[in-house]
Amino acid sequence: MGPGCAGVLGWLLLAQVASQAAGKRVAAAPGGGTQSLAFGAAKPRGRLKLGSHRSPLVSPPAAGGRPCDAKDFGHGSLVCACSATYCDTLDPVVLPAPGTFVRYESSKAGKRLERSEGSFQRNAATPDFHLTLDTAQRYQKVKGFGGSVTDSAAINIQSLSKDAQNHLLRSYFSEEGIEYNLVRVPMASTDFSVRLYTYADAEGDFELKHFRLTEEDTRMKIPILQAAQAVAKRPLSLYASPWTSPVWMKTNGAMTGRGTLKGSPGDKYHRAWAKYFIRFLDEYAKHNLTFWAVTAGNEPTAGEIVFYPFQCLGFSPEHQRDFIAQDLGPALANSSHRHVQLIILDDQRVMLPYWAQVVLKDPVAASYISGIGIHWYLDFLAPIDLTLSITHHLFPDYFLLSTEASTGSYFWEPRVVLGGWDRGSKYSHSILTNFNNYVTGWTDWNLALDMEGGPNWSKNYVDSPIIVDSSKDIFYKQPMFYHMGHFSKFIPEGSQRVGLAVSKKCRRCDLEHSAFLRPDGAVVLVVLNRSPVDVSFGISDPRVGFIEAMAPSDSIQTFLWKQPA
């Protein structure tokens, strides 16, 4: 994975490697550390009542889902506590009547996807900041939103009672929750495992006769994936990523540290590694779990770092290109999994567009590839227009997908912050900026972690949208969870980003936003206010009318309305 995966020395080493390969771009992921956060006693505030908010031309929220059982851990905002007997829920999305809109709002002050309704106006004064919808401008289509079923996530989910587990999975995947549709599944162990293993650890087993799934799959990840699919309204799109090959295939003979596959593309080591992907897909298919995609490998630049502390397998873009052209691409194409899409990079966006140029300009490799995966840990080094937008324009036929993100990963940060609003805002900021630059989907890292941010065999703890306290059979839904819901619940697969013109006459009214046209013809607009002041703004849909709106300080809103047929 990426968070905390190297110290400053690792960055310098990786910068040297990447600069040699690309001449100008570097990649890796932020530095480690093992500090954890000591928590004070939770101070219950009771259940938040949906519907206290009033604004012009907005009616009280409709009665519906169960409210948040709010807890305040003293970190600036609230978490919602869930147990075997209670968990907050949402109503299924229902489109409003023509000429009206619904708005869902979450805020640092305590709202959690609070629903309200209002009517469009035909004549209104134009505010200093307003957004005008332009559905004639069409951009990328949406794949979806989700998270990762790591070993650690599975351990935490299964540490709860059956009823609490059901509440957790329904919170993520069902219509009474935030309706995730993307799930990343590690192939064997990651740092978010309690031990290091692969599926083919028998020395020299080139035919993979001893390939076996482990208990982490058969008793943990597979049952959870099956249960998630059972509560989801639509089929889930699973995609798999390997962290490392078996050590007998590697140049350094270890799962961690600097090392790549022995030999060269087209040889027995590379053929065996390609076959490993097929065997993984074969075994999961026996459990009625089929995959939408695989990535060629998690963070291939990590395996170029000396003393890299977690599982990794190094690839340069040239090596990945040739492995795909000669081994992995043909293996998938000639298997029963030829429909499975192949994603390259699966690493920091700072490597773009160079990585894509090297791999996709080879016509043989490119013929097997569908998309490009990106992680967020070095985004501060990588201007989005010079990485994602330029990559899209160079290679418009290949989708961009955000495949991993987590907070609490930098060594100077506390690992878990219960009620940290800013961490949710970071998620929404990333999603909005990514989607406004042609990304098609956004995947969180661990679905659930414990109060320390683990378990993790290397103590590389991070935060998660759901934190489990198994000693109390309770889990806490963080602000990050609700920020994700502002997108995942309302922007289904097949939606398309559309134009949104901005008119701004004030300096301090900064808002972040993106608009989408759903497959059912409804419009979704998401507006994020990360500032400490309220911002008045207007929304104009030339086919419907005008909305006078206000974005409270530290808030996120999702608007939904129908357009005329």
Q: Please, which residues bridge with residue 58 across strands? A: 118
- Answer for the pair 437, 384: CB distance below 8 angstroms, yes or no: yes
Q: Provide CB contacts within 8 A for 36, sequence distance 6+.
A: 414, 415, 416, 452, 453, 461
- Answer for the pair 126, 497: CB distance below 8 angstroms, yes or no: no
Phi/psi for 536 (5° steps) reads -80, 140
Q: Provide CB contacts within 8 A for 528, sequence distance 6+.
A: 425, 428, 429, 432, 511, 512, 513, 551, 555, 556
- Answer for the pair 524, 515: CB distance below 8 angstroms, yes or no: yes
Q: Please, which residues bridge with residue 43 across strands? A: 72
Q: Where are the beta strands (DSSP E) in 300-412?
A: 341-348, 371-375, 399-404
561: DSSP letter: E
Q: How far apart are CA 530 and CA 510, in angstroms?
A: 8
Residue positions annotated with a catalytic role: 299, 404
H helices of 111-178, where?
151-158, 162-173
Residue 265 corresponds to which amino acid? P
Q: Provide CB contacts within 8 A for 103, sequence distance 6+.
A: 58, 115, 116, 117, 118, 549, 557, 558, 559, 560
Q: Please, which residues bridge with residue 241 across strands? A: 186
